[in-house]
Amino acid sequence: MNITRISEQWVAAQIQQKGDSKCVPWKSLRNLVLVHPDVKKRVDVFALGIYG
């Protein structure tokens, strides 16, 4: 699955590299990003979900 042309594997690798044990489940993040009404803020929500 890709959101904004970023694969789930890439996201998982970034989380592992960062060393975070707590993270938002991918499906929850995807659903949150896809239903957000403001397109520009979708990217912000996605970035906050990854980098918190």
Q: What is the pLDDT of residues 5-43, one digit of tens each?
A: 677 787 777 777 766 656 667 777 777 777 777 777 766
* Global pTM exceeds 0.85: no
Tell me, what's the pLDDT at 29? 72
Q: Would the pLDDT of 2 be above 60? A: no
CA angle (45, 14, 10) in 5-degree steps: 85
Q: What secondary structure letter does DSSP report for 37?
A: S
More confident residue, 18 or 2: 18
d(Cα 51, Cα 46) in Å, to the nearest integer? 9
Name, in order, each residue with C-beta under 8 angstroms of 46's C-beta and a sequence gap of 6 or more: 3, 4, 29, 33
Only one residue has tokens 């995807």, namely: 30
Tell me, what's the pLDDT at 13? 78
More confident residue, 2 or 42: 42
